[in-house]
Structure 1
Amino acid sequence: MRSSAVLRRAIRGVRWYVRELTDESAYDRYVAHLQKGHPDAEVPSRREFERMRTDRQEEDPRQGFRCC
């Protein structure tokens, strides 16, 4: 493999890792889930998804107290 190909592959790997670590890819997984299991369902916008996710976390007593 050429060094530029190795570098691109490394960058893709780091990007994937950071997205998974920060849960940036959660929306992508949710959209894929809806399209596969519920093809007629309306796909929420990224903003709507994040609002639903935040509301669900705040309603869950296992999450504990959030100050901010």
Structure 2
Amino acid sequence: MDVLRSAGRGLMAVNKYLKGVLGEDSYDKYLEHHQATACATAPMTVKEFWRDKTDRQDANPEGRCC
């Protein structure tokens, strides 16, 4: 059982790392920041967030592969 728990924790750590590298955790970080700064407005929905993020990247291209 300890081996399975250890393997599970390892897989969860790898999953969290990959989400960070790929940027999949961006919305979660946005929500944490929104809550920490006590913004008066409601947070963007997931769809609004990703649309805004891609629009900003298209308007201000930086060192990306595509």
TM-score clears 0.5: yes
Change (3 A) 1:51 1:2: same
Q: Structure 2: state its 5+ residue gaps.
A: none
Q: Structure 1: state its 5+ residue gaps.
A: none
| TM-score, with structure 1 as normaliser | 0.81
Q: Identity, % of aligned pairs?
A: 28
| TM-score, with structure 2 as normaliser | 0.83
Higher relative contact order (CA 8 A, sep 6+): 2
- The alpha-carbon deviation at position 40 of structure 1 amounts to 2.5
User: In structure 2, what is the equivalent of residue 36 of structure 1?
Assistant: 36
User: In structure 2, what is the equivalent of residue 6 of structure 1?
Assistant: 6
Q: CA RMSD in A?
A: 2.0
- The alpha-carbon deviation at position 44 of structure 1 amounts to 0.7
